[in-house]
Amino acid sequence: MGFWGFRLPAEKRDHFIITTMIVATAALSYYAMATGYGQVNVDFPTNGLDLEKAKVVTRPIFYARYIDWSITTPLLLLDVLLMAKLPLSSTAWAIYADLAMVITGLIGGLVGDSWRWGWFALGCFFMIAIFVSLFVDGAKAVAKRDNSLSSFYNSTVLGLVILWTAYPIVWAFGEGTNQISSDVEVYLYAILDVLAKVGWGGFILYHNERLTASYSKG
Ligand code: RET
C-alpha cells in the first residue's frame, strides 16, 4: 500500500503513508506476540481487593498490544482529523486523550486488584472525550470547511465509534473479569484490529482522491 502511495504526488499521499505506518506497526506487534514476546503474567483476584483471601487467577497480559495501539490509534485519528482540519489545540487534545486511553488501559491490565476498574473508567472517559471531539468539534469544522465532505466524515466517525467501543467490551470480559479466556481474547482483538486498521483504513484509502481534492481547496 505504501508503495502505491509513493507513486502519488506529495499532496495526495497522506492517507497512504498513515495507513502504511499503521499496518507496519501492527505487523511488528503481532510478530512479537506470535513468537511469545510482549506479554507478562498478572495475578489477580477474581472476587475482591484482597489478594490474600481472594481466588487468584493468573492471566497473560499482552502489553505489546498497548504499545501497538499507542502508535496506531493516534494515526487512525489523524485519518479523520485531516478531514476536519481542527485547530492544533483540538487536534492535540484528541491525540492526548487517545494516548491517555491506551495507557490507562495498560495500567488497568497490569494492576492486580480491583483498582483496575478505576483505570478502566478513566480509559472510558478519555475514549468518550475523543468521540465528543470528533462528533461535535470535528463535524462542525468539516461542515464549515467543505460541506460536501460532511456525510462521508460522519459515516467514517460513526464506523470508528462502533469499532472502538468494542475494545473496552473485550477488555472488560477478558483482562477485566477473566470471563473469556486469553485465547478467545486474542481472536477477538485480532478480528477488531483487522476491521479497524485494514477495513476502516482501506475504506478511507478508497476515497483518497475525493479527500485530497477537498484538502487542496483549503
Ligand atoms: C481499553 C481499556 C481501557 C478503556 C478503553 C480501552 C479502549 C481501547 C480502544 C482501542 C482501539 C484500538 C484500535 C486498534 C486498531 O488498530 C484500552 C481497551 C476505552 C478503543 C482501534
Q: Are strands 40-45 and 56-61 parallel, antiparallel or unpaired?
A: antiparallel
Q: Is the pLDDT of residue 147 over 90?
A: yes
- What residue owns the CA closest to ligand 1's atom 17? 105
The number of the ligand 1 atom at minimal distance from the alpha carbon of 104 is 3
Task: Report how far residue 22's alpha carbon sits from residue 8's, in angstroms, rounded to the nearest whole number.
Answer: 19
Q: At what angle do helices 88-110 and 116-132 cross, to 10 degrees?
A: 160
Instruction: Tell me the CA–centroid distance for residue 66 and ligand 1, in Å.
Output: 8
User: What confidence score (pLDDT) does residue 57 get?
Assistant: 83
User: What confidence score (pLDDT) does residue 144 get?
Assistant: 95
User: What confidence score (pLDDT) does residue 2 get?
Assistant: 59
Instruction: Report the amino acid identity of residue 35.
Output: T
Query: pLDDT exceeding 70 applies to what percent of the chain?
Result: 94
Residue 87 corresponds to which cell in the numbers above? 485547530
User: What confidence score (pLDDT) does residue 69 get?
Assistant: 98
User: What confidence score (pLDDT) does residue 47 get?
Assistant: 63
Other C-beta atoms lying within 10 Å of the C-beta of residue 36? 8
- Is residue 122 exposed (0-12), middle (13-18) or buried (19+ Cβ within 10 Å)? middle
CA atoms within 13 A on the CB side of 56: 11
- What residue owns the CA closest to ligand 1's atom 11? 164
pLDDT tens-place string over residues 179-214: 899 999 999 999 999 999 999 999 999 999 999 999
Residue 151 corresponds to which cell in the numbers above? 456525510
User: What confidence score (pLDDT) does residue 194 get?
Assistant: 97
The number of the ligand 1 atom at minimal distance from the alpha carbon of 124 is 19
Ligand 1 site-directed mutation target among 29, 117, 127, 131, most atoms within 8 Å of CB? 127
Instruction: Tell me the CA–centroid distance for residue 209 and ligand 1, in Å.
Output: 29
User: What confidence score (pLDDT) does residue 6 get?
Assistant: 77
Average pLDDT (108-125) is 93
Q: Is the pLDDT of residue 71 over 80?
A: yes
Residues 6+ apart with CB under 8 A from 90: 133, 137
List residues bridging with 57 in a β-sheet.
44
Task: Report how far residue 209's alpha carbon sits from residue 86's, in angstroms, rounded to the nearest whole number.
Answer: 21
User: What confidence score (pLDDT) does residue 162 get?
Assistant: 98
User: What confidence score (pLDDT) does residue 126 get?
Assistant: 98
Residue 117 corresponds to which cell in the numbers above? 476498574
Task: Report how far residue 184's alpha carbon sits from residue 166's, in angstroms, rounded to the nearest whole number.
Answer: 14
pLDDT tens-place string over residues 25-65: 999 999 999 999 999 999 877 665 565 666 788 999 999 99
Give the chain's mean pLDDT.
Answer: 93
User: What confidence score (pLDDT) does residue 48 get?
Assistant: 57
Q: Is the pLDDT of residue 91 over 60?
A: yes
Complex ipTM, two decimals?
Answer: 0.98
